[in-house]
Amino acid sequence: MRTMRDYLELTKPRVTWLILMSTGVGYFFGLRGGWDVLVLLHTVLGTALIASGTFTLNQWYEREADSKMRRTQARPLPAGRITPRKAFAFGVILSIAGSLELWLGANWLTSVLGLFTLLSYIGAYTPLKQRSRHSTTIGAIPGAMPPLIGYAASAGTLTLEAWILFAILFFWQFPHFYSIAWLYREDYARAGIQMLPVVEPDGQSTARQILITSVLLIPISMLPSLLSMAGKLYLAGAFALGVVFFYSGLRVALERTRVRARGVLIASVLYLPALYSLMLLDRPSL
C-alpha cells in the first residue's frame, strides 16, 4: 500500500483534478450536438494519464532540486522510496497510454495537443526553471492546454471559443504561481530555481506581475459572454470575480507579506471553479 501511495503521489492527483475540470469545460463548449459519453470518458481518462505521466517525469527530472527543498524532500524520489529508473519508466508508460487513449478514444488532434503539452512542459518549462525567471511564462502555455484538449475532443477542431478558454487559463496561472513562488521563495532559492521572487527578492516585480495579469484577466474572462458562449449572468459574475481576484493582488502589492501572498493563492483556487461554474450554468442551450 505504501508503494502504491508513492506512485500515486508522483502523479500529483490534487493538481490533476484542476486539469480534468478545465478539460471537461473545453469538451462542453466544443459540443455541436448531443453528448457522446464514451468520447468524454476517453478524453478524461487520456488527459488524466498524460498529465500523470508529465508530473511523474517532471519529478524524475527535478529529483535533485526536490531534495534541497523542505516542502519536497519527502517526495518518493528524493526520499529514496522509488528509484529514478522505475519513476522514469512509470512516467513513460503513463504518457504513452494517455496519448493512445486520446487518439483512439477521441481523435488525432486531441492526442497531438496532449503530446505537445507533455513535450513543452518537460522539454522547455522544466529545464528552464533552473535558468530563467521567464520559465513561468513558458510553463503557462502547457498549463493552459487542457481546455483545448477537451474542445478538440468534442469539436474535432479549434475555434476562437477554444482559444478564449485557453487565454483565461493562461492568464489565471500567473497570480496563482507567483503567489506560490513568493510563499516558497527560500525553498526555490536553495534549489537554484530561478523564480521571479528569487531573482528579485524585494517582491516589487512579483506584485506588479500579479496586478497586471489579474487586471488583464477581467476583460478576457468576460469575452465568453460577448461572443455568446455565456449570458449576462456570467458577464456580471465574471466581472465580480475578477474584481475580487484583483483586490487580493492589490493587497499583496501594498503589503508584500506571506499572509497577503497566501490570500492571492486562496483567491486563485476559488476563482477558477467559480468562473467555470458560472460559464456552464449560463451557457445558451445547444
All three cell numbers of 248, joined, read 487580493
> pLDDT per position in the chain (286 positions), as tens?
678 899 999 999 888 888 999 999 999 999 987 788 999 999 999 999 999 999 999 999 999 998 998 888 899 999 999 999 999 999 999 999 999 999 999 999 999 999 999 999 999 999 999 888 889 999 999 999 999 999 999 999 999 999 999 999 999 999 999 999 999 888 888 888 888 888 888 878 899 999 999 999 999 999 999 998 999 999 999 999 999 999 999 999 888 888 999 999 999 999 999 999 999 999 886 5
Burial of 273 (0-12, 13-18, 19+ CB in 10 A): exposed
The residue type at 266: I
Phi, psi of 197 (to 5 degrees): -65, -20
User: Which of 257, 265, 130 is CA-nearest to residue 195?
Assistant: 130
**C-alpha–C-alpha distance, residues 198 and 182, integer Å:** 8
Per the CB < 8 A criterion, the answer to whether 106 and 42 are in contact is yes
**Whole-angstrom distance, CA of residue 38 vs CA of residue 251:** 46
- Range 1-158 has CATH code 3.30.390.30: no
Alpha-carbon span 170 to 167, nearest angstrom: 5
- Length of the chain counted residue by residue: 286
Helix (H) and strand (E) counts in the chain: 15, 0
- Domain spans in the chain, listed from the N-terminal domain onward: 1-158, 160-286
